[in-house]
Structure 1
Amino acid sequence: VCFEQKSMWILASVISASLLTVIFLHGLGDTGHGWAEAMAGIRTPHVKYICPHAPVMPVSLNMNMAMPSWFDIIGLSPDAEEDETGIKKAAESIKALIDQEVKNGIPSHRIVLGGFSQGGALSLYTALTTHQKLAGVVALSCWLPLRNSLSKSVIGSNKEIAILQCHGEADPLVPLIFGCLTVEKLKTMLNPNNITFKTYARMPHSACPEEMMDIKQFIEKQLPPID
């Protein structure tokens, strides 16, 4: 399935079709196919899963090698310079994908947005800045982009959004401290009672069966079947 967004095309693996949707964004250098397979393992029959593919672009962190990436990553320290223009452009493309689902008849409050690593970072930023009220966010092994420019005043329709944030305690690429700093920041901007932060012992920069079951339970809670 292709989604045309201005000058950019996003391809996506789509599982099922329904009145409820999960949009899940992969990490740097990956595609949507792997996460489409992972979601197929925990899928709920009444939910459609869309796993878009990021455009291919040079990435500063990887010596400007071209690879699938939602935006440029310049460094991996908490104070590293960020690709503000690229992050905002990527968020607009995901908002357009959400808008397309709404045009297809799925209310935005029946859409869960999620992602892993860079995709998780983009899902958080998009949820905090979109006018569409979403059902929830699944943020895996990630961080909050442009966190210093985000505050309660910029959040649109999702001040009460439910967030499941997960992180591996042995993550060497996006260390656990990124997850801890992110959840602390989110709790200053959103209702802290709606934020769940789970960590997994010995899990590196990947997923594990326990985490996948937590994701499944979160999705089923936020997107119950429609009578």
Structure 2
Amino acid sequence: MRGLLLNISVETNSPGWQVSQLQQRLLEKWELIGNQFAGSLADVSFPGWLNSTLVRLIIHLLFWVMIALLLILLMWKGQQLVKWYKRKIKSRNNRKIIKNIPEKKQDYSVDYWVIQAQKAEKKGEYQEVCQCLYQAMLQQLDSRNIVPHKSSRTDGEYEEIIVKIPQYQSYQQLLWIHQELCFGNLSASISLVKNCWEAYESIKRL
């Protein structure tokens, strides 16, 4: 019972629920204002050319169109706020997942990381797929004596070196994806995994 009450409390305190309640209150407020305005229009004495039923109907219609557009804008802004909050939470969770993946070790071969990426893809663990292909790239740079491995070397330092070699774009793409997954708001997806595989296959052909 306490668990159920706790879940209800969390849901009612979430930004999404609060935005929903705010939208509901705004809808009720604008409906009240609209009804009051419409009632006041009925008592207003218009000039002769405005006294026709058609003109009054057009005025009423334009007023309600404006109200509807304003409400749509408010609801859209509310949805954007909820989506932003969800992306922020997801990004925070993604960074935690990535930190739990083992760091590169020199005795791990390129084939090892590729196999790990394939296993992760079968499980639908897209974060880990991207991370393993990133590690495979680093191992390949080390094996080819392009960039010797250093645990303290950052993505920025890798990029400064690889831009000096021909056809560095595929390396750069994997570095950028890794950096955005770890420190940005990028979320792993099937399409992102596809991009990682394409970049890695390009690197293999170099």
Same fold (TM over 0.5): no
Considering fraction of residues, name the structure with more helix: 2
TM-score bracket for the superposition, by shorter chain length: under 0.3
TM-score by length of 2: 0.26
Q: What TM-score do the two structures reach when normalised by structure 1? A: 0.25
- For the pair shown, the structure with the greater C-alpha radius of gyration is 2
Bigger proportion of residues as strand: 1
